[in-house]
Structure 1
Amino acid sequence: MKNSIAHILKFSAVTAGVTLCLMATAPAASPLDEGVNSYRHGNFESSAKTFAPLAEQGNATAQYLLSCQMINGIGVPTDQTAGWAMMESAANNAQPDASMVLARRLEATNGDKENIKSLYMTAAEQKQTQAMLWLALDAIDQGDKAHAKELLADAWNEGDPRAATLLATRFAENDEDRISYLSAAAEKGELRAAAYLAEISREKDDRVGAVGWCAIASGLPGHAANVDWKEIGMAVERTCAKYDEDLKPAARAQNRANVDQFLSDFFADYKAWKPWRPCAVR
């Protein structure tokens, strides 16, 4: 690992003078912020040079992101052995995403279940909601519903809408709570929640809600700028027509106009939650 890092470090001196000049004229971002910004924008050679000394000093975020680069050969020569060793160092330094990647790797290679669970527990302790969901489903499988509900509540408190969907479908005690969870989840882009709401609306003979939630569950691009509502209307007809096909033409036309307004209102302030992805920065 040290040879790989040394190879990256040799470039640092070249930029030292420029960095000092910039510091004299403007408040400097931290080295970690600079590295993350480079990584986020795809400047991987730059991010690797920045992360290398920080990783040597034990910075868990730098270790995690640099290990991703080393494992995948992005911005640096591929070095699987050193990369995975650094990933383990990041996990040992309480970097939750590193624990997640290691757990996923073990799952993909049929690793020991207890080791996998231990990694997910470590990540969950650091508020990693993907890990919380895994542990919640495992608890359900083990018959420990109380612990599963607690984990899902924690994940939802951290903003993961998938947890709200599971709370609605597994633990809601009445329709009001179930719809409340599902609506909150759908508002963050949880498509399964929208699909459930479409069926609930159908059961209540709410044709606008049924078609509207169906459209959202179908992944329509209503959150994009300059939405072509005619195109969306065609997509609704293809995927959601079953919910109002028995209406007479005039009533159906009015229903679709109401659906357009439903979708417009829904997407007015829409901000979808972004699920965790390995080696991505948030």
Structure 2
Amino acid sequence: MSGFLATGAAASSALDDGISAYRHGEFEKSADILAPLAKSGDATAQYLLSCQTINGVGVTANEDAGWTLMEQASENNNPNASVVMARRLEAMGGDKDKIRGLYIAAAQKNNTQAMLWLALDALDRGDAAQAEAHLKQAWELGDPRAATLLANRFAKSDVDRLTYLRRAAQHGEMRAAAYLAEEARTVDDKAEAVGWCAIATGMPGHNEDVDWKTIGDAVEKNCGQFDKDLSPKDRAINRERVDHFLSEFFKNYEPWQPWRACAVPTSR
């Protein structure tokens, strides 16, 4: 038993080393570490090495071999590989049931990208209850895009909708901020309208390195329409309110990183 544990620990340590090399862009090193692990059936190693092999990063490009590795990773229940394979099949006009099966496998491993696809697929099929269930699960796992969809598709009241949108925006969901800018416009809250617009257009969070003139110019260019009808004096006052609104917003800002193909997994 002790020998088995030692072997398992060594494999785990090697995979961590491979992931670390991959994360830091040391792709020749990561390929050397991941190759034997992939050969032995480690799904994470197969997934990352397939990305390198398909794209020719740190190894000689070989799309056929890379896609074979990607398929093996998917069959070994790597959710990221399953999403990549599903997307590839979609691009190739593949069988919808097979595509759906790949997304289901990924969703069962808590991949929220897959859950969003399944939610939209359920809506297309007229299964609103299933769509809502997928979105709620994705939101519970922290995907703010799901909250935006819940707000616009399944909110039971205006308060419920705005709550979803505000929480989504707090995690960097710019579409939610855009909806909130329009909501603020309808109630003539010009400070929030400009503020949410600024967030929706990708304004960075407040920190010591912020170039305020650049930000101010960007806000004026992208969001000036929300308070253009004010007098110069009232507009200046409104912009002070905008700055206060943004300062409060960024105190609790926790941007969420969306799923990206071939990104280093955060957990296994």
- Normalised to the residue count of structure 1, the TM-score between the two structures is 0.87
Counterpart for residue 7 of structure 2: none
Matching residue's letter, 2:166: S
Instruction: Give 2:150's match in structure 1, choosing from 167, 170, 174.
Output: 167
Which of 191, 208, 211 is the equivalent residue of 2:191?
Answer: 208
CA distance 1:91–1:166, shift in 2 (3 Å): same
Contact 2:206 2:247 in 1 (8 A): no
Structure 1 unaligned regions, length at least 5: 1-26
| 8 Å contact kept, 2:135–2:147 | yes
Query: How many residue pairs get matched?
Result: 256
The farther-off stretch of 92-101 and 66-75 is 66-75
**Structure 2 counterpart of 1:106, from 69, 86, 89:** 89
Q: Is the Cα contact below 8 Å between 1:183 and 1:194 reproduced in 2? A: yes
Q: Does 1:144 align with 2:127?
A: yes
Q: Counterpart in 1 of 2:242?
A: 259
Contact 1:198 1:214 in 2 (8 A): yes
Distance in 2 of aligned mates of 1:91 and 1:29:
20
The two structures, once aligned, show a CA RMSD in angstroms of 1.6
Question: Residue 71 of structure 1 aligns with which residue?
Answer: 54
CA distance in structure 2 between the aligned counterparts of 1:186 and 1:124, rounded to whole angstroms: 24
Amino acid at match of 1:60: A
After the TM superposition, which of the residue ranges 235-244 and 208-217 deviates more from structure 2? 235-244
Q: Is 1:219 aligned to 2:195, yes or no?
A: no
Over residues 247-282 of structure 1, what are the superposed CA-to-partner deviations in whole Å (9 max), with x where a residue is unaligned? 222111111011012112222342311111111114
Could you say which residue in structure 1 is the equivalent of 2:182? 199
Instruction: Provide Cα deviations, 1:163-192, integer angstroms capped at 9, x if missing partner.
Output: 000000001011111011000000111010
| Aligned equivalent of 1:9 | none
Q: Map residues 1-282 of structure 1 onto 2, 5 A cutoff.
A: 30-222=13-205, 226-281=209-264, 282=266
Partner deviation per Cα, 1:9-50 (whole Å, 9 max, x = no partner): xxxxxxxxxxxxxxxxxx998111110010011100100111
Partners of 1:271 and 1:178 lie apart in 2 by 20
Q: Do the aligned residues in 2 keep the contact of 1:162 with 1:190 (CA within 8 Å)?
A: yes
Residue in structure 2 matched with residue 4 of structure 1 by the alignment: none
Question: 1:12 maps to which residue?
Answer: none
Unaligned runs of 5+ in 2: 1-9
Larger Rg: 1
Q: Identity of paired residues, percent?
A: 61
What secondary structure does 2:80 align onto? Answer: helix
Separation in 2 of the partners of 1:78 and 1:217?
39
- CA drift of 1:55 comes to 1.0
Which one-letter code corresponds to 1:196 in the other structure? Y
1:20 match: none
Q: Distance in 2 between matches of 1:213 and 1:142?
A: 34
Distance in 2 (alpha carbons) for counterparts of 1:278 and 1:28: 24
Deviations 1:222-261 (A, max 9, x none): 3565112222121111111121112222111111011012
Whether the 8 Å contact between 1:223 and 1:270 is mirrored in structure 2 is: no
Counterpart of 2:90 in structure 1: which amino acid? Answer: E
Distance in 2 between residues matched to 1:202 and 1:126, nearest whole Å: 41
